[in-house]
Each structure stands twice: as structure tokens, then as C-alpha cells.
């Protein structure tokens, strides 16, 4: 027989093995120690058995079995030349968290459907079960919305970029916006199914009201300033950062919260997004919303006055609550970046904590579910090794710090912490090999944080396992940074 697990390996059971050499069984009586996703793997001289309560557990048992096989099975050319032996073991294994996530930003750089599938294959090997798909941002709108065709005919394309963050280069004379791409709804459905076959749910993100330049380029009336040339001819400077989290946007990339048209737009988008993605949550973004244009806008000011709002944060909260109501009306739950706490968290919304853990702690104290994804440990775009050879960025997240991180802070009800997530932002990552380089080995640490019980984690045990997986990646042709060998390097802020 042939087993073809999701990772693309083929286990060929040869005549030297009995036909029942590898047996996968679903427990007739659920084994409480295994939960929904756990498994028991037993290998003796006669037989390998994997038992689980649910199919997901069998899938994870198979992933572990593959990791026990020699590294040459990863190679296209060497797999047939080696003995496929594994040690005799008994493994009882179940995850710590139900949410083990990885986010991929496909806006800053577009990754094709095939590249996204390969990404999903890689994260499935390490038992991640949530793929957060960052589908919209200033640099491109990547999901087809049939009722709003300009989002992708205009918003998915820009002029080939220059500059450190790849933002909005003005076109030369006669130059066209040819850089980008998007997924059709059929593409999306195919990826959703592909992920599901690997026990991964997809969390779609529509990042509003900030980070909305691409949507505004398509429909300028969505912004207070209504500048039709914003996306294609943006001027020289996109934003200035003043430190302490404060910044100025020189181009208006924020939806206007005071116009009903904005909510009609959001309703159309969320209607189609809710139909495309079966997962219970939709991510509404909410991060880094610049409020300078709202402060100068007569209609925003009138709304604030009418509703008795004292700050622009309250105006963002008004927007968030209305979008949350739209998401709820489509039968979905809302999650947003921790900024959705400011000015009042929409009732029933979950929080993804990225500016450290404090937003997550605050949300949990309000009784809201939390996914922890703090940038100093979980941002896989930050330097992990030597900044002089890595893509330019603003800070560092070392492997050891990622590994040492515990997503459940003291004094917080652990049941509210849904789990952990690593985020791959792609301002500087233009190709899958660069993406892989920045992800690994840190994604191994994030995988183990999501899966392994706290008292079973050990840096001394982790490092040799990382080395073994690097050797497997060498065989498979997957890129990674050799950062565990580097000395600690001080990052120069630039």
C-alpha cells in the first residue's frame, strides 16, 4: 500500500514489511489524555501503530513518524538509497494550545497560490493549525470581492517599488502599475480546502481602518481626503515615525468612519469573506490607524460631537464596533490587533496581542479571548541573526528569546489564552527562499511554544533538535538562517 500524507512524502511499504506494518487507528473509546489533536505512536520490531481520538491526531502522529525517519527521505534523490529505519519508541503527545498560528503577509509582497500551498505544507509538518492570511494592506488588496471589482483590478497592482520599505514609488513617465497580484475566489476556496486537508483553519484578515491605501486607491471616496491619485502617484514620502509608537501619515491610508458608505463597503467585503472562509473568526486588523485626517475632517468632527466622543480613539472604537456588528451579522466572530482595545473593545471580540503582551493581558482581564503574538518574540520578520546580512528591519527577535517566551502571563486566566502565533511580515521578503530564511529556525520555537507543555520545554533539548531539522531542510532544499550559531549582536536602530 501507499500512504501519501499531506507533506508530499510517499511512504512505500515494500515487500520486506508485513501488510499491516503501519496501522492508523481511531480509538473506539476516546482516550482523555489525547484530546482532539493528540496521538499515541508505538513502534516495535513488528509494527508501527498510531492511535488517536480524531483524524487530526492521526495526522500529527504521521508528522512525528516522518520526523523519526532518516533525513534522506526529504531528498528527491537519496530517499531510495537509505534504510528506512526508525527507533523503537512509544510517544504519547498532545498540544498545549488549540490555536497554533502563523501569519503570512501577502500584501507587501504577493505570494502565488502555489507558494502559499508550499508554505502551508511546511507549517503543517510542525503541527501548526491556524494560518492567518494577511490579505490586505497599503501595498495591495489580494482577495477578489466580486461586488467591488476595483479592489483587485486597481488595488492589487502598483508600480515596481523602490525604497527601504517598498512603499509606493511614484511612477516614471508612462510607467504602469504592474507589480502585484491577487487570488480569485476559486483560488481562495482551493487553498482553504488544501489547508483543511492538513488540519489547518484559515483566518482571513481585512486590515481596517488604517493600512487601507490599496482599498482607497480603488475607491478614493472611502477616505476623508478622497485623493484619486493616492496609490499610483503618492508623492515622495509615505509616513514619518516619531518614536514611542507615534507617526504621521503623509498619504491618507485610513477609511472615513463618519460616512455610511464606509459601512456599506465593509458589509459587502465581509459578506463575501464570510462565505469564502469557513473558519469561525474574521480578523478586522485595527493596527496603526493614523487619526490625523479624521482630526481635520468636518464630518468626523461632527460625528464625534454628536456622539459625545472625546478622543479619536473613541472614534476608532465606534468604527470597530460597527465592523464587529457587521462580522457578527455574517455569523462570524471578530478578532483584531490590540489597538481595538483603545476607546473600548467591541463586546465579544477577541484580541491578538502584538505590541508585547500587555494588550493581551488587558483583554483577558476584560474576559476576552486572546491570541498572543508579541513582536519581540513572535515577529519572524525581525532580525534573528546578523543584521549586516539579513533584510533590513527595525528590531531583533533572537531564537533563544522566541523559545523562552511563555504566552500565558501570570495572573491571567489560562483558558482565555487561545494560543500563540508567529507573524511573517514581508515588506523586505520578496521570494519564498527569503521567507523561509526569516522563518526558520524561529518558527520551530513558535511551534514548540504552541504544542509542548511548559514543563517539557528545554533549550538544551531544543538546540540539537533544531540542528537535526536544519539537516532535514538541507536535504529538502528549504532555506533557513543558521542563527543559533551567531553571537548576540546589538541592533543599531536605523
Can residue 451 be called a binding residue for ligand NAG (CB under 6 A)? no
Rounded to the nearest whole angstrom, what is the least distance from the CB of residue 82 to ligand NAG in the complex?
A: 41
Rounded to the nearest whole angstrom, what is the least distance from the CB of residue 257 to ligand NAG in the complex?
A: 19
Can residue 325 be called a binding residue for ligand NAG (CB under 6 A)? no
Rounded to the nearest whole angstrom, what is the least distance from the CB of residue 383 to ligand NAG in the complex?
A: 11
Q: Are 147 and 273 in contact (CB under 8 A)?
A: no
Among 187, 288, 313, 486, binds ligand NAG (CB under 6 A): 288
Nearer to ligand NAG, 271 or 428 (CB): 428
Say what angle helices 432-439 and 442-451 make with each other, to 10 degrees: 60
Among 39, 379, 403, 405, binds ligand NAG (CB under 6 A): 379
Can residue 381 be called a binding residue for ligand NAG (CB under 6 A)? yes
Rounded to the nearest whole angstrom, what is the least distance from the CB of residue 427 to ligand NAG in the complex?
A: 6
Q: Is the dihedral of CA 196, 198, 201, 206 positive or negative?
A: negative
User: Whose CA is closest to 250, among 225, 219, 276?
Assistant: 225
Among 337, 383, 444, 473, binds ligand NAG (CB under 6 A): 337
Rounded to the nearest whole angstrom, what is the least distance from the CB of residue 425 to ligand NAG in the complex?
A: 3
Contacts 24+ apart (CB under 8 A), 71-77: 71/468, 71/471, 71/472, 71/474, 71/475, 72/475, 73/9, 73/475, 74/472, 74/473, 74/475, 74/476, 75/475, 75/476
Which residue's Cβ lies closest to ligand NAG?
A: 425
Nearer to ligand NAG, 182 or 354 (CB): 354
For residue 299, the surrounding DSSP H or E stretch is: helix 298-307
Q: Is 288 a catalytic residue?
A: yes
Nearer to ligand NAG, 375 or 452 (CB): 375
Rounded to the nearest whole angstrom, what is the least distance from the CB of residue 381 to ligand NAG in the complex?
A: 5
Rounded (10°) CA dihedral 272, 273, 279, 280:
-90
Rounded to the nearest whole angstrom, what is the least distance from the CB of residue 15 to ligand NAG in the complex?
A: 53
Rounded to the nearest whole angstrom, what is the least distance from the CB of residue 286 to ligand NAG in the complex?
A: 8
3-state SS assignment for residue 467: helix
Can residue 342 be called a binding residue for ligand NAG (CB under 6 A)? no
Can residue 37 be called a binding residue for ligand NAG (CB under 6 A)? no
Nearer to ligand NAG, 259 or 427 (CB): 427
Q: Which residues contact 174 (CB under 8 A, 6 or more apart)?
A: none
Can residue 390 be called a binding residue for ligand NAG (CB under 6 A)? no
Q: Is the dihedral of CA 227, 228, 234, 238 positive or negative?
A: positive
Please identify which of the residues 288, 342, 406, 486 carries the catalytic annotation: 288
Rounded to the nearest whole angstrom, what is the least distance from the CB of residue 210 to ligand NAG in the complex?
A: 9
d(CA 428, CA 446): 21
C-alpha cell, 8: 508530499
Cβ-in-10-Å burial (0-12, 13-18, 19+) of 367 comes to exposed
Among 425, 437, 444, 473, binds ligand NAG (CB under 6 A): 425
Pinpoint the alpha helices (H) of 168-287.
Answer: 185-196, 213-218, 260-276
Q: Is 175 a catalytic residue?
A: no
The strand ranges marked E within 15-165 are 22-26, 39-43, 48-52, 90-93, 99-105, 130-134, 136-137, 140-141, 157-158
Nearer to ligand NAG, 287 or 475 (CB): 287
Look up residue 162 and give its DSSP letter: -
Nearer to ligand NAG, 319 or 379 (CB): 379
Q: Is 448 a catalytic residue?
A: no
Can residue 354 be called a binding residue for ligand NAG (CB under 6 A)? yes
Using CB under 6 A as the binding criterion, the count of chain residues that bind ligand NAG stands at: 8
User: Whose CA is closest to 318, among 333, 328, 308?
Assistant: 308
Q: In sequence order, what are the beta bridge partners of 50? A: 24, 41
Nearer to ligand NAG, 57 or 385 (CB): 385
Among 267, 287, 314, 486, binds ligand NAG (CB under 6 A): 287
Say what angle helices 459-476 and 442-451 make with each other, to 10 degrees: 120
Please identify which of the residues 134, 211, 283, 324 carries the catalytic annotation: 211
d(CA 110, CA 263): 27
Rounded to the nearest whole angstrom, what is the least distance from the CB of residue 200 to ligand NAG in the complex?
A: 21
Please identify which of the residues 37, 74, 137, 144 carries the catalytic annotation: 137
Nearer to ligand NAG, 69 or 340 (CB): 340
d(CA 163, CA 395): 18
Q: Which residues contact 153 (CB under 8 A, 6 or more apart)?
A: 218
Which residues, 305 to 324, sit near ligand NAG by CB under 6 A?
none
Nearer to ligand NAG, 182 or 379 (CB): 379
d(CA 56, CA 40): 12
Nearer to ligand NAG, 57 or 359 (CB): 359
Can residue 362 be called a binding residue for ligand NAG (CB under 6 A)? no
> Catalytic amino acids?
137, 211, 288
Binding site for ligand NAG (CB under 6 A): 287-288, 337, 354, 379, 381, 425, 427
Amino acid at each position: 500500500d501507499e500512504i501519501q500524507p499531506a507533506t508530499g512524502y510517499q511512504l512505500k511499504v515494500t515487500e520486506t514489511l508485513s501488510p499491516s506494518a503501519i496501522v492508523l487507528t481511531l480509538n473506539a473509546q476516546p482516550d482523555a489524555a489525547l484530546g482532539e489533536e493528540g496521538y499515541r505512536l508505538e513502534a516495535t520490531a513488528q509494527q508501527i501503530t498510531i492511535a488517536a481520538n480524531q483524524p487530526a491526531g492521526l495526522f500529527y502522529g504521521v508528522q512525528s513518524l516522518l520526523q523519526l525517519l532518516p533525513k534522506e527521505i526529504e531528498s528527491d534523490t537519496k530517499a531510495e538509497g537509505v534504510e528506512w529505519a526508525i527507533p523503537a519508541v512509544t510517544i504519547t503527545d498532545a498540544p498545549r494550545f488549540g490555536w497554533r498560528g502563523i501569519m503570512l503577509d501577502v500584501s507587501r509582497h504577493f505570494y502565488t497560490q502555489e507558494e502559499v500551498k508550499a508554505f502551508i505544507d511546511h507549517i503543517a509538518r510542525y503541527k501548526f493549525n491556524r494560518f492567518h492570511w494577511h490579505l490586505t494592506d497599503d501595498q495591495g488588496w489580494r482577495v477578489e470581492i466580486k461586488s467591488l471589482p476595483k479592489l483587485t483590478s486597481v488595488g492589487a497592482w502598483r508600480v515596481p517599488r523602490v525604497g527601504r520599505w517598498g512603499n509606493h514609488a511614484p511612477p516614471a513617465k508612462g510607467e504602469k502599475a504592474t507589480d502585484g497580484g491577487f487570488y480569485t475566489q476559486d483560488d481562495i476556496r482551493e487553498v482553504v480546502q488544501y489547508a483543511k486537508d492538513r488540519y489547518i483553519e484559515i483566518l482571513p484578515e481585512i486590515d481596517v481602518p488604517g493600512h487601507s491605501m490599496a482599498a482607497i486607491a480603488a475607491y478614493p471616496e472611502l477616505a476623508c481626503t478622497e485623493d484619486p491619485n493616492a496609490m499610483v502617484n503618492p508623492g515622495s514620502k509615505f509616513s514619518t515615525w516619531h518614536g514611542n509608537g507615534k507617526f504621521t501619515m503623509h498619504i491618507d491610508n485610513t477609511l472615513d468612519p463618519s460616512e455610511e458608505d464606509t459601512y456599506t463597503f465593509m458589509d459587502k467585503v465581509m459578506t463575501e469573506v464570510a462565505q469564502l472562509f469557513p473558519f469561525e473568526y474574521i480578523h478586522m486588523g485595527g493596527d496603526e490607524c493614523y487619526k490625523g485626517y479624521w482630526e481635520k475632517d468636518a464630518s468626523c468632527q461632527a460625528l464625534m460631537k454628536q456622539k459625545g466622543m472625546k478622543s479619536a480613539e473613541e472614534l476608532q472604537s465606534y468604527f470597530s464596533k460597527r465592523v464587529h456588528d457587521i462580522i457578527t451579522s455574517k455569523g462570524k466572530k471578530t478578532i483584531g490587533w490590540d489597538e481595538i482595545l483603545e476607546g473600548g473593545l467591541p463586546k465579544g471580540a477577541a484580541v491578538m496581542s502584538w505590541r508585547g503582551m500587555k494588550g493581551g493581558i488587558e483583554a483577558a482581564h476584560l474576559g476576552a479571548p486572546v491570541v498572543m503574538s508579541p513582536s519581540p518574540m513572535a515577529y519572524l520578520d525581525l532580525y534573528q541573526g546578523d543584521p549586516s546580512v539579513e533584510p533590513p528591519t527595525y528590531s531583533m527577535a533572537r531564537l533563544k528569546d522566541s523559545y523562552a517566551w511563555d504566552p500565558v502571563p501570570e495572573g491571567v486566566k489560562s483558558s482565555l489564552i487561545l494560543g500563540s502565533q508567529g507573524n511573517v511580515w514581508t515588506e523586505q521578503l520578496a521570494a519564498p527562499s527569503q521567507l523561509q530564511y526569516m522563518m526558520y529556525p524561529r518558527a520551530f520555537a513558535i511551534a514548540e511554544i504552541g504544542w509542548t507543555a511548559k514543563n517539557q520545554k528545554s533549550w538544551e533539548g531544543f538546540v540539537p533538535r533544531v540542528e537535526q531539522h536544519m539537516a532535514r531542510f538541507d536535504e529538502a532544499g528549504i532555506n533557513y538562517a543558521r542563527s543559533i550559531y551567531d553571537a548576540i549582536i546589538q541592533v543599531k536602530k536605523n
